Amino acid sequence: MEELKLLPGLLLPWYRAGHRVLPWRETKEPYRIWLSEIMLQQTRVEAVKGYYARFLDILPSVEALANCDDDLLHKLWEGLGYYSRVRNLKKAAQVIMEQHGGVFPREYEDVLALPGIGEYTAGAVCSIAFDQPTPAVDGNVLRVMSRLRDDPAPIDQPAVKKAVTEALRAIYPADAGDFTQALMELGATVCGPNRKPDCEHCPCREICLAYAHGTAETLPVKSPKKEKRQEDRTVFVLSCDGYFALEKRPNKGLLAGLWQFPNVTGKLGTAESLEALSQMGLTPKEIYKEIQRKHIFTHIQWNMTGIYLEVTDRAGNFQWFTADEINTQAALPTAFRQFWEEK
């Protein structure tokens, strides 16, 4: 599409005239840009702002992140979900300290080699921080390009992402960072997701084939989603004299290394729950509430029954926390925090 060569000239003035003011756009410091891009994965901008500020207040540098205690790290991330992101942040920080002398690498291939960094994040950091012509192609950018080219190919196919990346690489201007952010801004606002595109206010309308053909609202196309696997779980919110039982999840796998309320697979009735607690070495005094909740992961849905009860002793293979300690020290992933917030 020859018209794509006009894209930088259309997008850059529009972006500079009135883009959203976001804290990570006020810096060229690669650590801060990297952190923002990791936090923004699967997470709304408004939700990230507070986390971003708190994280940088406690961990203002790669070195601070590399040396951070895991429990504090998880607490800073609590509620953002997808905790493998923050574990990889720390691993990458340690690699930067060990292999790059604590200086964030400038070369795309070196950035791409860091734990938890894929092509999108490497492209974003290198273009925004270092003005390199490295496209950062995510869902927003794919949506924009799908409409500009009136392309019905499913945007979740790797070949489509590769083709878009190469098409953009060929037209990147010297102001690479602004161009990357302009594409992101367009895809998040005027050409945003889950709503009708605002073509009347789009700076690229004159070169948009989907606008010309009247197909913008039908794009982008995605492949059919697979059904999520369903799993029932029973969660025990155990209290004793103002203390609550928690345990650490395994260091590998789903929600690795995070705190959780004791739980078992399956939806247990009262008799089964009491037997399960007995096997944990606990003696219940009173069951005082039961609620139903669910939590959706990428490939699985937990259908969760929460049972709240008082026990006679702080027994079992658990750690017992006060409410204040849970609120300030123990990182509960959202799947379990929803039961804490209902207590």
Active site residues: 37
Which residues are CB-contacts of 60 (< 8 A; sequence separation ≥ 6)?
none
**239 close to 312: Cβ distance less than 8 angstroms:** no
Q: Could you tell me if 177 and 11 are in contact, meaning their C-beta atoms sit under 8 angstroms apart?
A: no
Q: Which long-range contacts (CB under 8 A, 24 or more apart) does 199-207 make?
A: 203/10, 203/11, 203/13, 203/14, 204/7, 204/10, 204/11, 204/144, 204/148, 206/10, 207/3, 207/4, 207/6, 207/7, 207/10, 207/148
Strands 300-311 and 229-240: parallel
Q: Which two tokens stand for residue 38?
A: 């990791």
Q: How far apart are CA 85 and CA 66, in angstroms?
A: 14
Q: Are the CB atoms for 257 and 292 separated by under 8 Å?
A: no
